[in-house]
Structures are given as structure tokens and as C-alpha cells.
Structure 1
């Protein structure tokens, strides 16, 4: 039968993948880190027994976290990614020629190190000259920043361990101050099947800070339930009021202009969670 890895997504449900071998495993200062070579999904990054990304389906998450806010903002020049040490979001950010600087703030340097080694197609852009990598606490970096960024993307794990503070109202208020007046914020906000209460709380907290708060979805097969949500906050720009002239062709596998508009059409049970 071979070796199988199972992420227990609830007390009664999990997702399983056949593993050829473990490429690396260690307990870092912040979490348990493992890189698995899987039969179905290629190399897989696992943190605290939760799937973070795989070579086969990573493009969906990284494209949707990056391009929806970047096409919504008319001219993003300085972008911050909090978390995301695998480098996938940074790779997508750099596809926008208007971006002059992309800052990655990742608390666990080991994620960066082993992503570069075992996930080079994801992490390859981290050495780009437009990228500044800071191995430090994202919450504290936000707290020290003021009117600095055009777009801030929070690419965090689920709200456990070092990521707990990244799902708090205080963090969203700090993001509002770190953004320029017309800045845009987006975060991954888990799934509506198993984390409905988290989604509701995050949406309420973001809405207290940003007058324009919108939820959108994507299909990511190795994430719990496959239906994943993102929450965007803005003072000025509405993601569904983007001029057609704003869109330009980039190299993607999931994101398109049509997806940009369609991803905000929520299933009713998700819409009910956000009271939109």
C-alpha cells in the first residue's frame, strides 16, 4: 500500500495523499515543517500537519491572492506579502510591471530555505532584484509601518501558532494604517464548510476597518473542502468596478478577467455567512 499522509481537517474528516518519500522534516523555532514527495501532487509543503502548497495546484491560490487586488488597484507600486515564505505570491506579484518593490515578511526562515531547495518553481522569484525578504514577525512589521504600501497580502497559515495574531481586528487596523490612503488589503480566510465561524468573524472585523469589504472564492483541491475564500478590504476601490482597460494579459493558469468578476459571485450559504 505504501506510505500515506493524511491531513485531519476536522475530527471526522481528512484528505490523504500517497507519499513516495520525505524530502525534509524538522521542528523549527515556530512549527513542524515537512517537505513530502507525493504521487499525485508533486512536492508538498506541510506545516504542523497541514498542507500549505503543492507543485501541482499551487497556482490557484497564489494567482488569486495576488492578481485580484493588483488588478483592482490602478497602479500598485509597493506591495507587502505577510507570510508566504514559499514565494508563490511574490512570483505572481512580479508579473505586474507597475510593481517597483515587493516586500516579503516571513517569520520562519526555514520555510524560505527549504522552499527554495525543494519547490524552486514556486520560490524562484524570491531572488529577484525587486524583492526584499525580511525574516521577522509580520504583525510587528505592520505595526511599525505607516502609509507605506499600495497593496498588502496576508498569506498566512490557519490561525494556529505564529499565525494567530494575523486573524485579529488589531491586525486589520494596523494594516489600514500601513496602507496608503487608496491602498488595498487581502487575506486568505479559510473555507466556509469547516470554518464558518472564523469566516464570519474575519468578515465582521475587516468590515469595521474598511468600508469596501468583499469575499471571493477559488477552487483549491488540496485545501480543506476545496472551496477557499479570500477577503479584500479597501477604502476606495471596488473590485467589481474595475475598468476593462485596466486588465492586461499575464501568464496565468487560473486567473482571468472573467474569473476576476465571477469569483465574487458567492454560493448562498457563503453569502449568508458574510451578510452580503
Structure 2
């Protein structure tokens, strides 16, 4: 059979991937969850019929959301991940030996269970003793904790439904309060081709709270347009100001996307993306 999965975007475009079969299909309290097996890209995780990752290319997302802040902070020891239920961000955070504790706060335990069973290459660190896994509302968790973390990573879905609150100014103020005095926050930030209006609101909300706010890019074939943005917000450190290039060199051979040249260049934006800021 000639089977294809198609994700339709809001601007009359779409992405199609040829698949072999459906490995899992279910519905949690929060969302529909599917795992497909593709012809060329390995397994695919869908949430509400949107592609969250392909096994072949997930590194372009997870390495960039984790290593940019971790190598930009002089001495990170504590990390909080909000969302990140597939486990890929935690996997990358825990490559850093200096991390003493990584807390992952994911609202939907079924995403963790499904990924751990069907895509173990991504959800490989759920049993790591440094990882504290909580199934809670990330907004409430951050509101209840202050001055706790060196790095906070917001690995969320799009700003709709239960994830909408993760893009509001009130939430970013709670993130600011939850960070230590020299903390850094990074969040997935859509893309400037298709979602410039969402980005403008997001970055305006961030700039109302943080003194240092910037955007950086990764190139991920399974996300709309192939260009994906991340928000970098810091209390103290500017992008590239404290990068630990020697430490990056030690890790580069383990990675598929991130390296010392990438961190130098990823904050370089095309003019149309600069206008978002």
C-alpha cells in the first residue's frame, strides 16, 4: 500500500511523509498521540496530528534547545525542563557531567510512556538518577518555585490549548523569578516565515521581563518551513559572551548538529527575522 501522512499548515502548505504503518495510536487527557513508522525517517511522534519529531532528524531540535544555553552559562548545575515529554531534551542536558540535577515537568505522562516504549533512542534517559520526572502543570510548578535553577528550557508544543499559558508575560515573569541571579531561559519559538505574529507577541512579552532577549535558529526538516527559532532570554549573560568553546570541542564528536561554529552563527538572523525582534 502507498501510505502517506500529511501535516497541513495554516498557510495552505503541507508536509507529507511516506509511512509503513502505525505503531501506536491513543488519546490522553490532554491530546491525541500517535507513533508512525516511516519509510526513510524512522519513527515519527505526532501530537494532535502535528509532527513533534522524526527519529532521523530530531537531533537538530534537541541539541539546539539544550546545548546553546548550557554552553552559554559559565557553571550550570541545575536545569528545569518544562514539557519535553519525548525525553530528547533531557537526553542532551544529561550529556553535561557538571549538571547535578535536571527536573523535567511534563503535564502528560502518556507522552513519556509512549516515547519510552516506541522511540527509546530519544527517551533514553528517563531512568537516569540525575533526572527528576514530575507530571505536573509547568505553569503552576514555576509559580511555586523561586531562585531554583541555572537554566530553564521551555520545550513546549504550539501556543494553543493547555500550552497557551507558556507564552504569556505572566509566565515569563514566573520563569525569571524561578531562575537564579545569573540564569538563562531558552524556549522553542516557532518560525519567522509562517508565525511572525506569534513570535512578535512572544518576544515582546519576554522583553518586558528579561534585560537580554535574542533569537537563534536551527534547521529542522519536519517543522514548518524547515527553519525553526528559539528564544534566548538571560538575566546577565549576552549570547556568545561566556561560551565555553573548549568544552564544546570535547563533546562535538558525540553530536550530530551542534558544534562550536554553529553556536557562533546561530544568532545571525536574516533581515526579515530581525524585524520580529
Shorter-normalised TM range = over 0.9
| Mapping for residues 30-41 of structure 1, pairs under 5 Å | 30-41=30-41
Measured in 2, the distance between the counterparts of 1:53 and 1:129 equals: 25
- 2:42 matched to 1:42? yes
Give the number of equivalent residue pairs: 274
> Deviations along 1:224-270, whole A, 9 cap, x unmatched?
11000000110111122125456442121100011001000001110
Pairing 1:260–2:263 present:
yes
Asked if the contact 1:74–1:246 (Cα under 8 Å) also holds between the matched residues in 2, the reply is: no
Task: Please identify runs of 4+ aligned residues in structure 1 that moved more than 6 A.
Answer: none
Matched, 1:203 2:206: no
What displacement does 1:166 show?
0.7
- 1:25 is aligned to 25
Provide the rounded CA distance (Å) in 2 between the counterparts of 1:53 and 1:177: 31
The secondary structure found in structure 2 opposite 1:273 is coil
**Alignment partner, residue 272 of structure 2:** 269
How does the TM-score come out when normalised to structure 2? 0.97
1:209-220 correspondence runs (5 A): 209-220=209-220
- Structural mapping, 1:216-235, within 5 Å: 216-235=216-235
Correspondence for 1:89? 89
C-alpha deviation, 1:215, in angstroms: 0.2
Distance across 1 between alignment mates of 2:225 and 2:11: 14
Equivalents in 1 of 2:208, 2:29: separation in Å?
34
1:79, CA displacement in angstroms? 0.2
CA deviation digits over 1:118-166, x for unaligned, max 9?
1101001111010000011111111111000000000001112211111
Say if 1:151 and 1:184, in contact at 8 Å, map to a contact too.
yes
2:130 maps to which residue?
130
1:20 and 1:245, CA in 2 relative to 1: closer, same or farther beyond 3 A? closer
Q: Which residue of 2 aligns with 1:142?
A: 142
Q: Which residue of 2 aligns with 1:56?
A: 56
Aligned residues of 2:216 and 2:266 also touching (Cα < 8 A):
yes
Q: Give the whole-Å Cα distance in 2 for the aligned partners of 1:247 and 1:157.
A: 28
Indicate the residue corresponding to 1:236 in structure 2: 236
Q: TM-score, normalised by structure 1?
A: 0.97
- Secondary structure at the aligned position of 2:276 is classed as helix
CA distance in 2, matches of 1:142, 1:214: 22
**Equivalent residue number for residue 167 of structure 1:** 167
Tell me, yes or no, if the aligned pair for 2:11 and 2:194 is still in contact at 8 Å. no
Asked if 1 retains the 8 angstrom alpha-carbon contact of 2:66 and 2:153, the reply is yes
User: How far apart in 2 are the matches of 1:95 and 1:11?
Assistant: 38
Q: Which moved more, 1:198-207 or 1:109-118?
A: 198-207
Gaps of 5+ in 1: none
- Which moves more between the two structures, 230-239 or 240-249? 240-249
